Amino acid sequence: MNNTLVFGDYLVFIIYFVIVAGYGYWIYRRKKKAVTDTHDFFLAEGSLTWWAIGASLIASNISAEQFIGMSGNGFFVGVAVAAYEWIAALALVIIAVWFIPIYLKNKIYTMPQFLKTRYNETVALIMAIFWLFLYVFVNLTSILYLGAIAINGLLPGHNYLHVVIVCLAIFAVIITLGGMKVIGYTDVIQVSVLIIGGFATIYMALTVVSEKFGLGKDALAGFKALIKDAPDHFKMIMDKPGPNSSQNYIDKYLILPGILMYAAGQWIVNLNYWGCNQYITQRALGADLKTARTGILFAAMLKLMMPIIVMLPGIAAYVLNKNGHLEVQGGMDGAYSAILGFLPNGLKGLAIAALTAAIVASLAGKANSISTIFTLDIYKKYMKKDADEKKQVRIGRVVVIVAMIVAILFTWEDLLGIGGAGGFTFIQKYTGFISPGVFAMFILGMFWKRTTGAAAIAGLLTGFILCVFFNEFAPAVLGNETFLYTAYPNGKGGYEIPFLICMGLAFMFTIIVMVALSLAGPKINAKAFKLDTGMFKVNPTNMAMIVVILLILSALYIKFW
């Protein structure tokens, strides 16, 4: 292993920085309208192509929580964690076909606006506040912290954590202040660097595995060595723990609870994230239906390859660590940084650039979403109703800076305990507290005309309360074994229900509550969306993309079931 950086590493990184910053500035100067036009600043309305939409979705999604957190889960559990990426690809197909037409037809620009249009202002305001807290205190902070930890681990001496935190935040702010168009098009470069650097990293990792096992410099032989040495890490569906299961195995099951997670939590996580999230509206709603759909399906195709980049290095680190060829420090979240230590001089710069690209793109996307929700759904509606577009853009930029400062303050000493929870699990678990209620509001609001505003508020509160109850209190109150769930020892003196199962239970009861309340109201809500079958027709090109995605997914699950 080589933990030093040479001139070539710094040069590659500097070239990456100059290209992204220069291209972003060129995009910005080409359309100065972004300075004063809110639709262009927040949505890049009408200017993003399908490939820019798809690349931007992936660049904003694949960040430190994937590179560090998912690689860490790959180290700990194995290929089962790829479910988050592969089910996301299928979720994106569903969203492209059924969700996006509804958004576009009703001219939805933000998620709170959707809730106001379909329900009422109370629901929209509650959710705007919810999303702002979630984006700032869960997403922005965790991305910044995990990203800084990873990059700091690659720098000589490993004593630059706070410097890295500040630098990442500044880089993201610079891009974000240019508006959504700058974010969207610079994301094309970011995702290209991410993919090239990611594949270079995993190629080198597999080559190292091959060498350590005496198989020569052969990446394919290295992959086969991983499967042979760690067969338990190449199983998509984990069996339910038995009486003699080790605590280590139970801990894995708590994160990825076998086939049951496909019946509940995985769908809620992915459909809520990709279909009821500001990311989708801000990247897809500036385009026509054909462009938006093609862009989302392109993102789904890119999603299929992401586990190779973000999960496989963790498995390689596990095998090397298991056989005494690598020391992983800092728990499972240290796996990715450890594997990067094998990269030769020069390639480390590319790996750091790829990691930085993922982090900065995701930070910029989240910061823009925070800015959009606050400016359009709170400031414009409740604080300064007569604010012109120039004023709104100015406020949006101030919000970007404030949100990033707050994120820096909370990540400076890891006040939220992100490192201890395991980065990827931290984000999924705490985002999951509101996901069941939010997804229930959206899915019923889109496709059931009888759903009422009162039911939506009750559903949001029910989903949140039940998620907290099942995650934190159910085993102590109802017991460890019921007809609804099985709780398992968590190794800390207590019992836990897998959080994906908690999400499924909360969603089920939330739907029941919302349906019951809505049945007490009018047969058709006056604010219900008008749907027609023509909205959901798919053109031949998009259908071909969908078929390819489904065939690849089927092959992957058949191989690793």
**C-alpha–C-alpha distance, residues 458 and 217, integer Å:** 59
The two tokens of residue 225 are: 């060595």
Say if residue 367's pLDDT is above 90. Answer: no
> What pLDDT sits at residue 284?
76
Q: How far apart are the first and last CA of the chain?
A: 34
Contacts 24+ apart (CB under 8 A), 527-530: 527/117, 527/118, 527/119, 527/120, 527/453, 528/118, 528/449, 528/450, 528/451, 529/102, 529/105, 529/106, 529/118, 529/445, 529/446, 529/449
Number of residues that make up the chain:
561
What is the arithmetic mean of pLDDT over 203-212?
88
Tell which wins on pLDDT, 78 or 61: 78
Asked whether 505 and 264 are in contact (CB, 8 A), the reply is yes
Counting residues of the chain whose pLDDT is more than 90, the rounded percentage is 22
The two tokens of residue 12 are: 């590659």
Q: What is 7-25+41-235+253-431+531-560's CATH number? A: 1.20.1730.10
Give the DSSP letter string of 305-363.
HHHHHHTHHHHHHHHHHHTTS----SSGGGHHHHHHTTSPTTHHHHHHHHHHHHHHHHH
Asked whether 313 and 201 are in contact (CB, 8 A), the reply is yes
Over residues 135-187, the pLDDT tens digits come to 888 888 888 887 787 777 777 766 778 888 888 888 888 877 766 666 666 66
Q: Domain extents for the chain?
A: 7-25+41-235+253-431+531-560
Q: What is the sign, positive or negative, of the torsion defined by CA atoms of 120, 123, 129, 135?
A: negative
Say if residue 35's pLDDT is above 50. Answer: no
Say if residue 39's pLDDT is above 60. Answer: no
Over residues 372-407, the pLDDT tens digits come to 888 888 888 888 777 777 788 888 889 889 999 998
What amino acid is encoded at 88 in this protein?
A
**496 DSSP β-pair partners:** 488
**C-alpha–C-alpha distance, residues 148 and 137, integer Å:** 16
